[in-house]
Amino acid sequence: MKYLSYEYQGSREVGRLDDDGQTIHRLDLSADDAYRGLMSLAEAAARGDTGPGDSGETRALEDVVVKAPFPAPRRNVFCVGKNYYDHAHEFSNSGFDSSAAQGSVPKVPIIFSKVPECVNDPEAPIPVYPDVSTAIDYEAELTIVIGKGGRGISKADALYHVWGYTVINDVTARDLQGSHSQWLIGKSQDGFCPMGPLAVTADEVDLENAGIRTRVNGEQRQDSKLGLLIFDVPTLIETLSRGITLYPGDLIATGTPAGVGIGYKPPKYLKDGDVVEVEVDGIGTLRNTIVYQG
């Protein structure tokens, strides 16, 4: 199933996208729940409920403004650094990698986070303040949505805890990421987490063969597949949940393949007016424009 959060005639709603790709079946959610995007679906799955049913009303996709599926995550978005072999080499050679002492391919997952308030909509502008940073980069990432939470989840059980997947663009201010050693500030600038356009149930994504790509102004920059992750989805869930209880609706961005701007010589940072498209097969395409402020 494919779900989305959207605005229709000034109201927030949540719906299921029909197989025709054009028709939305509005779900029967309270106004308060609709503002939480798909959170109530993940929570229902965790309880073993079927979740909200169809309201009987339909909307045309072209008549709505699609919003982030999880506009207000309950806490920071967990993120994984250097989790594709090709990108690990590219980043360690960039000179911006404060974790390079570990070697180019990490022995254990590198975990950081983005603050929930930096979540952005699938086609919204990405604001850039040039007095803060002009070294702005993109990172296409498959993102896990947790259904049933837990602590001490084994690899063997991990996929039973996945409600589904969405996509984020892990937008990064490279200079801040490097100068502050810890990555949070460079990763959490306002608007730096475009998310969506859909969130889909786990059966919709082929974790081996689905493609993951980025284009900037139509030029392909990243082109890989999900099966090339260093640490796969079960390993990430086992690692995080060893000492941190996971909750329904928690988000885990799984890392990005090669082809980020910092990997080019000279680096290809995002500039004012650039259109950056990030996509994963089966989930859809984020399409955001860089807009310099001030």
Q: Which of 90, 97, 121, 139 contacts Mg ion by CB under 5 A?
A: 139
Min. distance of Cβ 81 from Mg ion in angstroms?
6
How far, in Å, CA of 93 to CA of 114, rounded?
Answer: 24
Tell me which long-range contacts 263-271 makes (C-beta under 8 A, separation of at least 24): 263/87, 263/90, 263/91, 263/94, 267/94, 267/135, 267/137, 267/174, 268/216, 268/221, 269/134, 269/135, 269/136, 269/137, 269/174, 270/126, 270/128, 270/136, 270/137, 270/138, 270/216
Is 52 or 186 the residue whose CB approaches Mg ion more closely? 186
Is 3 or 78 the residue whose CB approaches Mg ion more closely? 78
Residue number, nearest CB to Mg ion:
170
Min. distance of Cβ 2 from Mg ion in angstroms?
24
Min. distance of Cβ 270 from Mg ion in angstroms?
15
How far, in Å, CA of 69 to CA of 117, rounded?
Answer: 14
Min. distance of Cβ 46 from Mg ion in angstroms?
26
Q: Is 170 in the site for Mg ion (CB under 5 A)?
A: yes
Interacting positions 231-260 with Mg ion (CB under 5 A)? 256
Q: Is 90 in the site for Mg ion (CB under 5 A)?
A: no
Q: Is 97 in the site for Mg ion (CB under 5 A)?
A: no
Residues in contact with Mg ion, total (CB under 5 A)? 3
SS3 22: coil
Which residues would be at the binding site for Mg ion (CB under 5 A)?
A: 139, 170, 256
